[in-house]
Chains A and B, each alone.
Chain A
Amino acid sequence: KQEVTQIPAALSVPEGENLVLNCSFTDSAIYNLQWFRQDPGKGLTSLLLIQSSQREQTSGRLNASLDKSSGRSTLYIAASQPGDSATYLCAVSTSTGGFKTIFGAGTRLFVKA
Chain B
Amino acid sequence: DGGITQSPKYLFRKEGQNVTLSCEQNLNHDAMYWYRQDPGQGLRLIYYSQIVNDFQKGDIAEGYSVSREKKESFPLTVTSAQKNPTAFYLCASRGMEPRGYTFGSGTRLTVV
A95 to B, closest residue via Cβ:
B99
How distant is A29 from chain B, measured CB to nearest CB, in Å? Answer: 15
Interface check B40, CB cutoff 8 A: yes
- Complex interface: stretch among B13-21, B69-77, B101-109: B101-109
**Among A12-20, A41-49, A65-73, A74-82, the stretch in contact with B:** A41-49
Q: Tell me the A67-102 residues at the B interface (CB within 8 Å).
A: 89, 91, 93, 99, 101-102
Query: Which chain A residue shows the least CB distance to B44?
Result: A103
**Given contacts A105-B41, A106-B42, A46 and B100 within 8 Å (CB-CB):** yes
Chain A residues, CB < 8 A from B106: 41-43
Interface residues of B in 61-112 (CB under 8 A from A): 88, 90, 92, 98-106, 108
**A-side binding surface: helix, strand, loop or mixed?**
strand
For chain A, the bracket of interface size reads 20 to 34
Q: Are A34 and B100 in contact (CB under 8 A)?
A: yes
Contacts of B88 in A (CB 8 A): 41
A105 close to B98 (CB less than 8 A): no
Report the minimum CB–CB distance from B33 to chain A (whole Å).
8
Question: Do B101 and A101 touch across chains, with their CB atoms under 8 A apart?
Answer: yes
Q: Which residues of B contact A (CB under 8 A)?
A: 4, 6, 31, 35, 40-43, 88, 90, 92, 98-106, 108
Which positions in A face B, CB cutoff 8 Å? 4, 31-32, 34, 36, 41-46, 49, 51, 89, 91, 93, 99, 101-106
